[in-house]
C-alpha cells in the first residue's frame, strides 16, 4: 500500500518534473554545494533545506531522471535517521577539534593488474552506480564500464583484519 502510494508520488513528481524541464531552460538547476561529512564514512549532510515533510527525499534522490544525487541504499526509507540539513550559516555552540581523515584516495588492488578492492563497507552502499556511475560524483572514482552492473563480480570489499588462510592442523 505504502509502496504503491510512493510509486504514484514518484510518477507524479517525475511527470511534473518533465513538464517543468520542457518549459524552462536546462541550465536552471544551480549546482548544489558538495555535501559535507563529519569524517570519511559518516553520512553526508544535506546542502539544501529539507523542508518539513521529511519522507519525500526519494522523489528526487531515488529517481535517476531527476538529476539529484542518487541514494546508494534505496530500501532505507527514513533518511532523517542519518542525514541532517547542513545549515552551515548557523553559528556553532562550541567549536570542535575532530578533523577526521580525508578519503583514502585510490583503492588498493590484490595484484597490479587486478581489479581494485572496495575501500569502504558495502552496507548502505549496495547500489554502487549511485556514486560510481560516470558523472555521478566528482569526488569518487567513476567506472569505465557501467554497463556491467554486477560490480561485486570483480570488486570485493577489503578485509584487512582477516588473517591469512592456513589449513587447520591435521592429526
Task: Show contacts with other proteins in window 115-134 (CB under 8 A).
Answer: 118-124
- Alpha carbon distance 94, 87 (integer Å): 16
Residues ≥6 apart with Cβ < 8 Å to 14: 63, 65, 66
Among 25, 95, 113, 153, which residue sits at the site for other proteins (rule: CB under 8 A)?
95
Q: Which stretch binds other proteins (CB under 8 A): 22-30, 60-68, 94-102, 126-134?
A: 94-102
Among 15, 16, 19, 41, which residue sits at the site for other proteins (rule: CB under 8 A)?
41
Residues ≥6 apart with Cβ < 8 Å to 143: 128, 129, 132, 133, 134, 151
Among 28, 30, 93, 138, which residue sits at the site for other proteins (rule: CB under 8 A)?
93
21 or 158: CB nearest other proteins:
158
Residue 56: helix, strand or coil by DSSP? Answer: coil
- Alpha carbon distance 130, 70 (integer Å): 5
Interacting residues toward other proteins by CB under 8 A: 1-3, 36, 38-43, 45, 52-55, 75-78, 80-88, 90-101, 104, 118-124, 157-161, 163
Amino acid at each position: 500500500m505504502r509502496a504503491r502510494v510512493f510509486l504514484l508520488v514518484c510518477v507524479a513528481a517525475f511527470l511534473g518534473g518533465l513538464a517543468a524541464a520542457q518549459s524552462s531552460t536546462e541550465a536552471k538547476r544551480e549546482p548544489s554545494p558538495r555535501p559535507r561529512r563529519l569524517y570519511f564514512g559518516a553520512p553526508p549532510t544535506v546542502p539544501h533545506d529539507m523542508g518539513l515533510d521529511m519522507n519525500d527525499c526519494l522523489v528526487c534522490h531515488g529517481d535517476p531522471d531527476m538529476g539529484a544525487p542518487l541514494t546508494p541504499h534505496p530500501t532505507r526509507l527514513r533518511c532523517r535517521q542519518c542525514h541532517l540539513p547542513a545549515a552551515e550559516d548557523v553559528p556553532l555552540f562550541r567549536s570542535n577539534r575532530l578533523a577526521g581523515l580525508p578519503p583514502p584516495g585510490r583503492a588498493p588492488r590484490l595484484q597490479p593488474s587486478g581489479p581494485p578492492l572496495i575501500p569502504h563497507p558495502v552496507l548502505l552502499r549496495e547500489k554502487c552506480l549511485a556514486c560510481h556511475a560516470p558523472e555521478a560524483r566528482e569526488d569518487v572514482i567513476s567506472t569505465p564500464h557501467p554497463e556491467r552492473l554486477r560490480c561485486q563480480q570483480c570488486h570485493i570489499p577489503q578485509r584487512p583484519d582477516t588473517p591469512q588462510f592456513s589449513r587447520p592442523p591435521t592429526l
